[in-house]
Amino acid sequence: METNSAMTGGDLAVRDTWGSKLAFILAAAGSAIGLGNIWGFPTVAGQNGGAAFLVVYLLAVAFIGAPVMLAELIIGRRTQRNPVGAFKALAPDSAWVVVGALGVLTGVVILSFYSVIAGWTLAYVWKAVTGTFVAGADTEAIFGHVAGDALPAIGWHLVFMVITVTVVIGGVRKGIERWTKVLMPALFIILLLLVARAVTLPGAGVGLDFYFKPDFSKLDVNVVLAAIGQAFFSLSLGMGAMITYGSYISRKDDLVSSAAWVTGFDTVIAIMAGLIIFPTLFSAGLEPGTGGPGMVFVVLTSLLSTIPPEPIGGVIFGTLFFLLLAIAALTSSMSLLEVASAWLIDERKVPRKKAAITIGALAFILGIPSALANGAVDWLSALPGVGLDFLSFLFTIFGQYALVVGALLISIFIAWVWGVRPAGEEVRANDGRFPLGRLWSFLIRYVAPLAIVAILVQLVAQLFGWSLFG
């Protein structure tokens, strides 16, 4: 019964595939487009000079992100396995399986704190609908309650995790695909409505200048590092999410254009998120320097009540904005949960339902300290000797370092261990073509690994308080 034949019809043995190329693109774009785009991107861009950051970010996506995206899809479709199984299949009896295992672990940890933040967005949808964000509302106190009191923080984290698990139990085609086909168009429509509102606010132009007129004197090595790190997180790279989603792609479909669509969508949506945030902030005379949860959950919400048409503008656009965040988070958390679930299903022959519940429960428990790290428990809110709260600490280790290391190892593996030649054969499996194949080989062999090594050196140096590049 443990064959992989779709004809046996046995629950355990059948490996799902996407219903179509479009279905894959929507699901993978759903994974990529998340809190990292709508909340993270404008925050990081705001802290790093706006337009200058945008330029560097686009270069990082094109020359490092896109080739790694294709690499992950190739590994996934070739092996039709989760990251652990994929490395086992391509490099049997070697230490490379550790890269897959690191990916599975990273996915669970990211899911744990991602769900906490996603829980806040659910709470905020509710608050926005019920008209909490009226003129003069103390948005700082509201955030302090949602994120800082144990009960709502853990409660909404639980609600979000249960929704995520429910989707993943449905499987690839009847769960993830079915939901993303509805949620992604909804996300796009909401985004367009919000952009239209934001760019027509009085005084929006100053925000647009900040965003689109680069001032390259703001560039330094830290801006470049921030851009590359942001690109990996935003594109869901470096932990095998795209290996896993790629493992459900049919041999009939073409990988290069799929990778291009996903990368392109993710980038366009991040840019559009900036078109909501910057005009809104500048039109209220605020600077986008405020980082972290503050910018969206405190500063932006305090502006909601002023959005015309008053007095219901804030209710409408506030609800839409937090719904947008919640949807984006959900289509990403599905992929985070799917990686470790696929590992249990493929490698341990655990039935899907049990696998998704087990990993979801684990990530929920692991998320509790993160849920308590925004004020509920003092030492978790400022880890002694680290200077970060527990959630930010996990984000730094797993959302940044682990993804960068993972992406480096994946590119070294495909470029120098398994080889660009067999990789190219996998790309050509459908119609014998590999558009931009030589460019990809060059980027994945030299540009991506060297750039990533450079960031790692700088990151480690910063850890020790050294500054290598000035």
Site for ligand PHE, rule CB under 6 A? 31-32, 34-37, 110, 233-234, 236, 239, 241, 332, 335-336
Nearer to ligand PHE, 325 or 420 (CB): 325
Shortest Å distance, C-beta 71 to ligand PHE: 15
Nearer to ligand PHE, 113 or 440 (CB): 113
Shortest Å distance, C-beta 239 to ligand PHE: 6
Which residues of 360-465 form beta strands (DSSP E)? none
Nearer to ligand PHE, 142 or 235 (CB): 235
Q: How far apart are the first and last CA of the chain?
A: 61
Nearer to ligand PHE, 201 or 241 (CB): 241
Shortest Å distance, C-beta 124 to ligand PHE: 17
Nearer to ligand PHE, 276 or 315 (CB): 276
Alpha carbon separation from 173 to 5, 15, 68, 385, 410 (Å, rounded): 16, 10, 25, 46, 27
Shortest Å distance, C-beta 334 to ligand PHE: 9
Instruction: Cite the DSSP H helix spans in 130-235.
Output: 139-148, 150-169, 171, 178-199, 204-212, 221-234
Shortest Å distance, C-beta 152 to ligand PHE: 22
Nearer to ligand PHE, 224 or 239 (CB): 239
Helix (H) or strand (E) run with residue 296 in it: none
Q: Any idea which residue has 């933040």 for tokens?
A: 117
Shortest Å distance, C-beta 119 to ligand PHE: 15
Rounded to whole angstroms, the Cα distance separating 42 from 31 reads: 18
Nearer to ligand PHE, 100 or 314 (CB): 100
Shortest Å distance, C-beta 278 to ligand PHE: 19
Nearer to ligand PHE, 31 or 112 (CB): 31
Structure tokens of 226?
């921030």
- Residue 158's contacts (CB-CB under 8 Å, 6 or more residues apart) are 119, 364
Shortest Å distance, C-beta 407 to ligand PHE: 11
Buried-state track 225-236, b at ≥16 Cβ within 10 A, e below 16: bbbbbbbbbbbb
Rounded to whole angstroms, the Cα distance separating 245 from 231 reads: 18
Q: Any idea which residue has 């594109």 for tokens?
A: 235
Structure tokens of 401?
């370092």
- Residue 462's contacts (CB-CB under 8 Å, 6 or more residues apart) are none
Shortest Å distance, C-beta 448 to ligand PHE: 17
Rounded to whole angstroms, the Cα distance separating 458 from 180 reads: 38
Three-state DSSP at 229 gives: helix
Nearer to ligand PHE, 17 or 335 (CB): 335
Structure tokens of 81?
């396995």
Rounded to whole angstroms, the Cα distance separating 364 from 116 reads: 9
- Residue 297's contacts (CB-CB under 8 Å, 6 or more residues apart) are 120, 124, 139, 143, 146, 147
Nearer to ligand PHE, 34 or 369 (CB): 34
Shortest Å distance, C-beta 167 to ligand PHE: 14
Nearer to ligand PHE, 71 or 239 (CB): 239
Shortest Å distance, C-beta 39 to ligand PHE: 8
Shortest Å distance, C-beta 61 to ligand PHE: 12
Nearer to ligand PHE, 271 or 336 (CB): 336
Rg of the chain (C-alpha set): 22
Cβ neighbours of 262 (radius 10 Å): 28
Structure tokens of 14?
């059948």
Structure tokens of 247?
């493992």
Asked if residue 456 lies in contact with residue 408, where contact means CB atoms within 8 angstroms, the answer is yes
